[in-house]
Structure 1
Amino acid sequence: MEKLMEDEVLKAFSTYAAIVIVKMMLMAPMTAYFRFTRGAFANEEDVARHGGAEEEKKKQLRTHADVERVRRCHQNDLENIVPFVVVGLLYALTGPELSSALMHFRLFAGSRIFHTVAYVTPLPQPSRGLSWIVGMLVTSSMAYKLISTVLYL
């Protein structure tokens, strides 16, 4: 393991993978924050702890546009960061040039951070869509380089 972590590309991948994974993990507390501040809960047991009449508790069992926006952003992270981590790791193990690998990793991390800002704020389109496309193109590029490097038929 120590020998693997001497590889600069693998170190870079580990750094940027950790950044986007932590970013994705922070979406859960952000969802909770929006639920509490907007008084919009999904489950009966979540409102049972709050005092008040039954009628007031039922009003809190609802969706809220802000909560749903954060949830969709989190879902989008799951759909994009997990493939990046898998493809990125395999790509890093093929021994790409450090400069090329850094470009891929940095572009992806930057696009996902910007995507979250654009989604949660919300910024006008096409900002969110363009940031998603950048991340998708980066992962696709790494997948192409991976497949073309290790193609075994």
Structure 2
Amino acid sequence: MTALSLENPVFSTYLIVSALLVLKVMGQGWMTVYRMMKSQSGLASPEDVQRGPLNKAPHPGQIEINDYVDRSRRMHRNDLENIPAFWVAGLLFVTVGPPLWLAQILMYGFLAARLAHFLAYATKQTHELRATFYTIGSLIVIYMALHLLWVALS
């Protein structure tokens, strides 16, 4: 059995978590678009304030910051700053043959931390709560990277 095979349950775990995280990243982008369309504000660029089928009454105020839209944009940016590191570290982690139980705890743990971070951010919870979920996810990716270094240097 090769490490990057569906016969490897660690790789299957990685594929499941990675696919769900792809949906999370893409869904967050669509959530931002939905919020811009719903509020007709929070547009990102001056050229976005042009008359068209979806913006029948453009006005300069549409590019001003709108927290409803910008909160979603910040959540998306946070995903883009954190999830790619998981994709890289997680895939490399699969190749060193970790125990299935460890891979599942780490990978599903990262997914749970990102989802909890999303819920905390979306519902305007305290920074401390949001930072707790960020920290859990970050420590998981750091652990995987250190584990890779340990294996590579041993």
Q: Output the TM-score relative to the length of structure 1.
A: 0.89
Unpaired runs of 5+ in structure 1?
Answer: none
C-alpha distance in 1 between matches for 2:44 and 2:16: 35
Q: CA offsets per residue over residues 35-79 of structure 1, 9 Å max, x none?
A: 112221223443321233xxx522222210121111111111111
Match of 2:37 in 1: 36
Is structure 2 residue 138 aligned with structure 1 residue 111? no
C-alpha distance in 2 between matches for 1:99 and 1:32: 38
C-alpha distance in 1 between matches for 2:108 and 2:92: 17
C-alpha distance in 2 between matches for 1:89 and 1:51: 46
Unpaired runs of 5+ in structure 2?
Answer: none
Matches within 5 A, 1:66-85: 66-85=68-87
The alignment covers a number of residue pairs equal to 149
C-alpha distance in 2 between matches for 1:74 and 1:51: 27
Match of 1:148 in 2: 150
What amino acid sits opposite 1:105 in the alignment?
Answer: M
Correspondent of 1:99 among 95, 101, 113: 101
C-alpha distance in 2 between matches for 1:82 and 1:42: 23
C-alpha displacement of 1:110:
0.3
C-alpha distance in 1 between matches for 2:61 and 2:95: 52
Match of 2:24 in 1: 23
C-alpha distance in 1 between matches for 2:118 and 2:106: 19
C-alpha displacement of 1:24:
1.0
Matches within 5 A, 1:44-59: 44-48=46-50, 49=52, 50-52=55-57, 57-59=59-61
What amino acid sits opposite 1:51 in the alignment?
Answer: K
